[in-house]
Amino acid sequence: MGIVLTKKIRHLLFITFLIISVKNNAQSLPKGFVYIKQIIPSIELELRYAGTNNFIGKPINGYLKPVGIVTLETALALKKVQLHLNKKNLGLKIYDAYRPQKAVDHFVHWAKDLNDTINKKIYYPTVKKENLFKEQYIASKSGHSRGSTVDITLINLSSESKEELDMGSSYDFFGKESMVSNQDLTSNQIQNRAILQEVMKKHNFRNYPQEWWHFTLRNEPYPTTYFNFPIE
């Protein structure tokens, strides 16, 4: 006679398998952290801070490899989001996940150098660099360093190139155009943002009102700890 496993037991066995897998394949990560691709192989990654396509224009301190890292709880929640979106022929693309404190310090140092404005026209054309702190685009601490915050967008799986959905402003654009409440958009852009906001909320993420792409897991496991291990 076969053994019928309840949904709860199957879930516990799955979690146990993941934990064992993480221990065997990612010994260098602190306890409780995983590589996103290990949990969600189908997810798209474009780690902007590991390259030059970002508001500073160079690789950011602490980003040694273009890999995404988050807490296990965040990865499992994102997996549910991905499965939900796949039913609509959509998927997630990650721009940033765990961010070491040394990277945040790099942002702060850059923001204080008012002469370095290489990418101003692209990322903050209407914001004075000296106001980046006051207007809360740059801060000395980031939720990303706690391991349960991600910067994401949606991609169209029907497209051969898996093109990003039009959200009305580009990732990391500093300005009112990126605010979640912004309604000065086309109907298609408003709809795309709504899909992203709704699916993330459904799976236990809260948004950041100034950035349509920024989400943090509710009840995150390390709410007061800011990590500094490198991304490699």
- In the residue annotation, 220 being an active-site residue is answered as no
Among residues 46, 73, 211, 220, the one annotated as catalytic is 211
Q: What is the CATH number of the domain that holds 91?
A: 3.30.1380.10
Is 93 contained in some domain? yes
Model pLDDT for residues 160-180, shown as the tens digit of each residue: 899 999 999 999 999 999 999
Is 99 contained in some domain? yes
Is 58 contained in some domain? yes
DSSP 17-45: HHHHHHHHH-TTSPTTEEEHHHH-TT-EE
Domain containing residue 76: 32-217
Query: What are the mean pLDDT values of the chain's consecutive 10-residue runs (232 residues total)?
Result: 57 56 63 98 98 98 98 98 98 98 98 96 96 95 98 95 97 97 97 98 98 98 98 96
CA distance 12 to 57: 44
What region does 219 belong to: left with phi over 0, alpha with psi -120 to 50, or beta? left
Is 80 contained in some domain? yes
Is 3 contained in some domain? no
Q: Which amino acid is at 72?
A: L
Is 79 contained in some domain? yes
Model pLDDT for residues 85-128, shown as the tens digit of each residue: 999 999 999 999 999 999 999 999 999 999 999 999 999 999 99
Q: How many domains does the chain have?
A: 1
Is 17 contained in some domain? no
Is 82 contained in some domain? yes
Whole-structure pTM value: 0.88
Could you give the C-alpha distances from 40 to 63, 74, 78, 105, in angstroms and in order?
Answer: 21, 11, 8, 30
CA distance 42 to 91: 8
